[in-house]
Amino acid sequence: MQNTCSLLGALLSLSFFLPATLWSQATGTVEGRVALTQNLRESSEIASRQIIRQYSVTSGKFGDAINDAVETPPAIVVYLKSNSATSPVAPRSQPYVIMDQKNERFVPHVLAIERNTEVRFLNSDSIYHNVFSLSQAKSFDLGRYPQGKFRAVKFDKAGLVKVYCDIHTHMSAYILVLDTPYFAMTNDDGTFSLAGVPPGEYQLFAWYGRWQSRPISVKINAAQVTIAELTFP
């Protein structure tokens, strides 16, 4: 009886492991780096003067922050658009993501999501906030709510959503709603990795605030890593 249970457990474990293994073997990965060509600075149209960020760049590399209040470079959104994918897209299971309100700032300042994702706007401050947007992709007004509470919005249309607080005018954020599950944010050194991509030909984009790079063409092969570098902005 004990041997039978052990065998059954092993078979169940194998049944969960094999689909993930087969999927990883049938898909590829694109890795690379976003090279900055100039300082990135958010304009007053997008963010208030209190949270303007400016970064030094040396030879297209991320440098030290000019503004001592900001210690890390901006996280840039990198995403793929399919030209002729030959395998079905596996949906990513992420029922919701959180955009926090902390120290009178939206965290993260830039959020990339797949269309039809729910965003929960959490208030971690001891004061009230009132999150709203008048963007074409999504318009909403969540009203005032206290610390520890959240209100949710489902983003069902692709596009750029600019988010503000009706009480604190210096608060702002971006939500980039994408029609693809294949996106990532760059690391502090500008590197990125997109795994689990079906084989095919794609356009690779980088985006941050007012800027979007010219796309480059990449070809994804099964069980292989494609290396790509983007110049931005």
Per-residue pLDDT for 11 more than 50? no
Q: Is 148 exposed, middle or buried (0-12, 13-18, 19+ CB in 10 A)?
A: exposed
Q: What is the pLDDT of residue 3?
A: 55
Cross-sheet strand order for the sheet of 150-155:
105-107, 96-102, 117-123, 150-155
Task: Convert 208-217 to b/e letters by CB count within 10 Å (16 or more is b).
Answer: bbeeebeeee
Per-residue pLDDT for 228 more than 70? yes
Calculate mean pLDDT across residues 165-182: 94
Kindly report which listed range (31-40, 131-140, 161-170) carries the lowest average pLDDT score.
Answer: 31-40
In this predicted model, what pLDDT tens digit does every residue of 127-159 receive, in sequence order?
Answer: 999 999 999 999 999 999 999 999 999 999 999
Pairing of strands 216-220, 28-36: unpaired
Who wins on pLDDT, 27 or 21? 27
In this predicted model, what pLDDT tens digit does every residue of 41-95 receive, in sequence order?
Answer: 554 334 443 333 333 333 333 333 333 344 456 789 999 998 764 445 655 667 8
Domains of the chain by start residue, with CATH? 1-44+74-87+184-233 (2.60.40.1120), 93-180 (2.60.40.420)
Who wins on pLDDT, 33 or 212? 33
Nearest Cα residue to 166 out of 211, 130, 136: 130
Pairwise CA distance, residues 164 & 134, whole Å = 9
Q: What is the pLDDT of residue 17?
A: 44
State the pTM of this model. 0.76
